Amino acid sequence: MGGRVFLGLGSNLGERQVWIGQALKRLEGLGVEVVRRSSVYETEPLGIVDQPDFLNLAVEVETELDPRSLMESCLQVEQSLGRRRGEKNGPRNIDIDMLYYGDRVTSSPSLTLPHPRIADRAFALKPLAEIASDFLAPDSGKTVGEMLRICPDSSRVRLWKEGNLTQNPKA
């Protein structure tokens, strides 16, 4: 593996915690081992505000998959859970973003690392800072904790009631 790898997961449709739990389980079946998991945060949507609040969390994973293969696995899990890509920033039952893959910096039509908008998204930075505040972003030279402190996003990100992520969607 090429350093510390972080994913962000979110959902704002149906039983949000179920979708996230199922996604984590399916990722593990594809060679992705979760080694650290943040708390779950409830966040207001950005962009299209007339939609339900999201649940978001960050995970640190270990994998032998290269960045492109990991991205393909994330997309495969989304599709297997019924994600249909529609309106940009619209509601979704599951969203899996690769935030960082070690010190890799790359930009192509199919993969950009680090995630291109992470520095402007409190809903991604807050959970990530909980598990990796000291992680040094390879593109900016700032730690995740520093990026959270200067993040221009003032949207609501609050700790969600603690509960287990379940893995049996009813939808």
- What's residue 167's pLDDT? 47
d(CA 165, CA 152): 30
> Does residue 169 have a cis peptide bond before it, meaning omega lies within 30 degrees of 0?
no
In sequence order, the 6+-apart residues with CB closer than 8 A to the CB of 104 are: 2, 3, 67, 113, 138
* Low-confidence spans in the chain with pLDDT less than 50: 1, 167-171
For the chain, give percent helix, strand, coil, nearest 5: 30, 25, 45
Inter-helix orientation angle 67-80/16-28, to 10°:
130
Phi, psi of 143 (to 5 degrees): -80, 160
Please report the pLDDT score of residue 8 as a whole number. Answer: 97
Q: What positions carry a catalytic annotation?
A: 83, 92, 95, 97
Asked if residues 58 and 131 have their Cβ atoms less than 8 Å apart, the reply is: yes
Q: Which CATH architecture has domain 5-159?
A: 2-Layer Sandwich (3.30)
Contact 114/138 with Cβ under 8 angstroms?
yes
pLDDT for res 171? 35
